[in-house]
Structure 1
Amino acid sequence: MLEVITKSFSELTINELYEILQLRSEVFVVEQDCVYQDVDFKDQKALHVIGFKNKKIVAYTRVFKPGDYFTQASIGRVVVAKNERKFGYGHIIFDHSIKAILEFFKETVIKISAQKYLKSFYESHHFKQVGEEYLEDNIPHIAMIKD
């Protein structure tokens, strides 16, 4: 069972922040073999949607109000621990992220920069590709919009 909570940066405990950064590094840097600067000073502006299982963070996203990342509201750093993906937690945390944008920012239009191989995942949440594929940190990405 995944328990999902949303917090501002200042509401995060030191241990929560450490677990979030560890999970993001584990997946985006180590598993995907991609050297990039994850700590980008955008966390302070974001709301953090955190999925806990047995008091451990296993799923996470960060969401932004319009203008803080893209012109539209946005969801980023969508991540689920490798050994927890089979439980559908990606869909759960992403649904909570969409609801958080509506609840906290009163927005329904959302733009994301999606890793191309996850296109069908995001399409299942009513996102549509806009524009051409591009490289971000040497990984193929596409811009997607939900309106």
Structure 2
Amino acid sequence: MKIEYFVKSFEELTTTELYQILKLRSDVFIVEQNCAYQDIDEKDLKCHHLMCLVDGKLAGYTRIVPTNLSYKDASIGRVVIGSKFRGLGLGKQLMENSIKACEDIFKESKIRISAQLYLLKFYNSLGFKETGNPYDEDGIPHIEMVLN
């Protein structure tokens, strides 16, 4: 199994890569989680996009968000692993690569996320700490977390 990670600005994405990213996000966040929400929110245009390819297929993705777009801090969003690729330990690798991308691209060590509440322990294991109380986002319990 060959695992590769790539980070690209929006302008650097090919149309095929963009299509694969949007399809993966739609498959998981809209269809699998049965959540009707506006995934294409124009933030993509100002973000970097981290792709995890397994044997050449898009297996995972995160959106690397600059400061003052979603939060005053840099952030990582749209964290997703495709259903066929779960259970391989890719989630932790994906987040470690995303944290490094935030640090490399934005020179930021403080990173904020809006985490689905059921993944609290996972994000704690990466060093993220809760910064508030759980809240509802599009019908799914979330919690804001920060990595310093």
| TM-score normalised by length of structure 1 | 0.98
The code of the aligned residue for 2:59 comes to V
Distance 2:146 2:73 in 1: 9
The count of residues paired between Structure 1 and Structure 2 equals 147
Which letter maps to 1:75? I
Q: Distance in 2 between matches of 1:11 and 1:18?
A: 13
Identity score, percent: 48
Q: In 2, distance between residues paired with 1:85 and 1:2?
A: 14
TM-score (norm 2): 0.97
Provide the residue aligned with 2:64 in structure 1: 63
- Tell me if 1:33 matches 2:40: no
The alpha carbon displacement at 1:93 in A equals: 1.0
Structure 1 residue 101, shift from structure 2 partner: 0.7
Unaligned runs of 5+ in 2: none
5 Å-filtered alignment, 1:1-147, equals 1-147=2-148
The CA distance in 2 between the partners of 1:144 and 1:58, in whole Å, is 24
Q: Does 63-72 or 137-146 show the bigger shift?
A: 63-72
Runs of 4+ in 1 over 6 A off after TM superposition: none
Code of the residue aligned with 2:24 in structure 1: it is L
**SS of residue in 2 equivalent to 1:91:** helix
Distance of 1:100 and 1:87 partners within structure 2? 21
* Structure 1: runs of 5 or more not aligned: none
Task: Measure, in 2, the Cα distance between the counterparts of 1:85 and 1:124.
Answer: 18
Amino acid at match of 1:50: M
RMSD: 0.7
Q: Which amino acid aligns with 1:26?
A: D
Code of the residue aligned with 2:14 in structure 1: it is T
CA–CA distance in structure 2, aligned partners of residues 45 and 30 of structure 1? 25
User: How many angstroms does 1:143 deviate by?
Assistant: 0.3
2:80 & 2:3 partners in 1: Cα distance? 14
Structure 1 contact 2–89 (Cα < 8 Å) conserved:
no
Partners in 1 of 2:3 and 2:124 — Cα distance?
23
Secondary structure of 2:44's counterpart equals: coil
